[in-house]
Amino acid sequence: MAWLHALAVVLVAIYTLLVQSNATALNDHDVAYWFTQPVDHFGRNNQQWEQQYMVNGTFYRPGGPIFVTTPGDESVTSYHTSMTHLASLAQLNNGLVVAIEQRFYGKSAPMPDLSASSLQYMTVENTLKDFAQFIRAVKSNPSSVFPVTVDPDSSVIFAGSSYSANVAAWMRATYPELVAGAWASSAFVYHRLDNYHFEQSFGRQLHHLGCGSQFAQGVQELDSILLSDDASRIESALELFGLPPLSADGFASLVSMLSISLADTQVTVSGNPVHAAICAHFNSNTPALVSYANVIKAAIERFGYSPEEIAAMSSHSTSDAKTHLNQPYRVNYYLSCTWFGNWMTAAPKSTGLASYISRRLNLDYWLSQCQKKFGSSIGSVADIDAFNKKWLGPLQEATNIYYTVGGIDIWRESTVAPASGSNIKLGSNTQVEVIDGAGPSQDYGMAEAADISSVKQARHVGNQLVKKWLAGKSRRIYSQQE
């Protein structure tokens, strides 16, 4: 997750759902609401803060379900209530959609800054408790949280994509009495400290598209320059790539993350956009290093980055001392430093595997950034084995979870369905759909004419499972106390 701090492109869209007859209309999907939470649910800090959420009640009818999601590491917007597949599920099931910000993201700030002492309250347990407390309020007094009249006996389905898919699965596993089922799209449930499997998934996609070997050659040729620490050679390479003055580490980090971000795209009936973004720049008449440089220059132009933005993206130390709020990438870094690692590293030479990012990006490099940003108070290495045991284990017994995994998802090796085999034993009424030819979380978006058939099928399977979960709900009302 830490590598996301370099991906500054956030897709923002405007969408208005049609109001059906007899549906409860909510005219303004951009209204923010607030729910009071304790800083720490376990008594270490009893101060309170306000958690932001948004609601789409357009399709809600009495007795309909509630679809809950969280933007994860983003600020909540009407996109999350109105432009994901949850809106379609709400329409199909006469339901309501609510998107709740996660603590320390957007305007949901439990503490006044993002120092290590403040971020100590950023735990999985507190995060899940936040959502559980909200759902309990829904069950006991829905008028206190919703702008429309909602049945307190409404079933709750939690859904999410990528990191928020983890949250959805954890919520079903941890609070099955509150959450009837979970749709987890591209959930990376298995965690590694040194996650070179990520760049290997990227490489496999490039080989499938026909440019894997040339791309790896370009990376290797650049690495021969960067690993030499020869200032003149590095300066010449920066000019070739059209980059401002950067350190060798900054250079390696920037080009590796820019190129791999291009694989985080949606495949459509028109084809795989990674081919146009990467493979189209490689041909037999152009040296591999020059082709690699052309990929990066095209990406910078595509994303519209200025030299100042490039310099900021490549430097991991410029904001080390800045602990002010509204730095989602700093929070992401904290999660990787303390929770689940997943550092994007190049495959070690000992594996004999080709590398598709710079070998300067090794575990020592990333862990040094944890110390620079947060000091020694958080330790130097997250205990990944303990984290997997605590949070992967319960998923093996959980029921009513729908996992979707894109066949060419760059996170695939960390999902429940890696290409190399299963990561976990699944519980009953839990299903996995590997979406052939799809990238990450394609099923989670709104249906479009350009969707490939496997994505449509995955949504259909999920829709049927949701109906099954809702039909099998047990009717009871929950108090706000455990």
DSSP-based helix, strand, coil % in the chain, nearest 5: 45, 10, 45
| Residue among 332, 367, 329, 352 nearest 193 (CA) | 367
Q: Six-digit token pair at 39? A: 């800083």
The verdict on 255 and 337 lying in the same domain is yes
Q: How far apart are alpha carbons 29 and 54 in whole angstroms?
A: 7
Kindly state the average pLDDT of the residues 458-476.
Answer: 85
Position 64 in a domain: yes
- Domains of the chain: total: 2
What's the rounded Cα separation, in Å, for the pair 33 and 14?
20
What's at 71, amino acid-wise? P
Please answer whether residues 19 and 25 qualify as being in contact, where contact means their C-beta atoms are separated by less than 8 angstroms. yes
Last residue of a domain, one of 378, 402, 436: 378
Q: CA 7 from chain center: how many Å?
A: 12
What pLDDT score does 80 carry?
96
Say if residues 60 and 90 touch (Cβ distance below 8 Å).
yes
Asked if 127 and 208 sit in the same domain, the reply is no
Split at pLDDT 50, 70, 90, the class of 30 is confident
- Is the domain of 179 the same as that of 310? no
Give the integer Cα–Cα distance in Å for 283 and 440.
28
Dist CA 295 CA 214 (whole Å): 12
CATH number at residue 144: 3.40.50.1820
Handedness of CA 281, 162, 119, 35 (dihedral sign): positive
Together in a domain, 223 and 185: no
What is the predicted pLDDT for the residue at 2? 44
Nearest CA-CA partner of 179 in 156, 161, 160: 156
Q: How many CB atoms lie within 10 A of CB 88?
A: 18
Asked whether residue 139 is assigned to any structural domain, the reply reads yes
Contacts of 320 (CB under 8 A, 6+ apart): 372, 373
- Whether 477 is in a domain gets the answer no
| Per-residue model confidence as pLDDT tens digits over 386-436 | 999 999 999 998 999 999 999 999 999 999 999 877 767 777 778 999 999
Phi-psi region of 210 (alpha: psi -120 to 50; beta: other; left: phi over 0): left
Decide which of 378, 411, 436 is a domain's last residue.
Answer: 378
In residues, how long is the chain? 482
Query: Under a CB-based contact definition with an 8 Å cutoff, are residues 282 and 291 in contact?
Result: yes
pLDDT, residue 165, reads: 98
* Higher pLDDT among residues 423 and 211, named by residue: 211
Residues 399/428, Cβ–Cβ less than 8 Å: yes
- 324 and 397 assigned to the same domain: no
For residue 277, give the nearest of 298, 292, 257 by alpha carbon: 298
Return d(Cα 242, Cα 227) in angstroms, integer. 19
> CA-to-CA distance for 366 and 333, rounded, in angstroms?
10
**Which of these three, 378, 403, 428, is where a domain ends?**
378
CA–CA gap between residue 409 and residue 5 (Å, rounded)? 19
Does the residue 114 lie in any domain? yes
Specify the amino acid at residue 469.
W
Same domain, yes or no, for 229 and 201? Answer: yes
Distances 476 to 62, 94, 154, 189 between C-alpha atoms, Å: 16, 20, 9, 31
Mean pLDDT, rounded, for 166-177: 98
Percent of the chain with pLDDT strictly greater than 70: 90
Range of the domain at 23: 18-190+392-471
**What is the model's pLDDT at position 24?**
36
**Quick one: pLDDT at residue 23?**
32
Instruction: Judge if 166 and 202 occupy the same domain.
Output: no
Q: Identify whether 5 is part of a domain.
A: no
Residue 482 lies in a domain: no
Name the pLDDT band for 284 (thresholds 50, 70, 90): confident
Q: Which tokens belong to 467?
A: 């109906």
* 29 and 133 part of one domain: yes
User: 419 and 357, same structural domain?
Assistant: no
Name the residue with tokens 């620490």.
229
pLDDT at 19 over 60: no
What percentage of the chain carries pLDDT values higher than 90?
A: 79
> What is the Cα–Cα distance from 173 to 171, expressed in whole angstroms?
5
> Rounded to whole angstroms, what are the CA distances from 169 to 49, 166, 181, 245, 252?
25, 5, 8, 44, 35
> Is 93 inside a domain boundary?
yes
| 343-398 pLDDT tens trace | 999 999 999 999 999 999 999 988 888 888 888 777 667 899 999 999 999 999 89
- Domain co-membership, 143 together with 54: yes
Show the tokens assigned to 36. Answer: 């009071």
3-state secondary structure of 3: helix
Residues 183 and 93 in one domain: yes
Q: How many CA atoms lie within 13 A of 179 on its CB side?
A: 29
For 153-163, the pLDDT digits (tens) are 999 999 999 99
Residue 10 belongs to a domain: no
Average pLDDT estimate for 175-203: 96
Q: From edge to edge, which strands make up the β-sheet containing 156-161?
A: 33-38, 48-56, 96-100, 66-69, 156-161, 181-185, 401-406, 431-435
d(CA 82, CA 55): 9
DSSP states along 77-107? -THHHHSBHHHHHHHHHT-EEEEEPPTTSTT
Same domain, 168 and 214: no
What is the pLDDT confidence band of residue 316, given thresholds at 50, 70 and 90? low
> Whose CA is closest to 109, among 47, 27, 171?
47
Q: How confident is the model at residue 208 (pLDDT cuts 50, 70, 90)?
A: very high
Range 260-276 average pLDDT: 92
In this predicted structure, the answer to whether residue 52 has a pLDDT above a threshold of 70 is yes
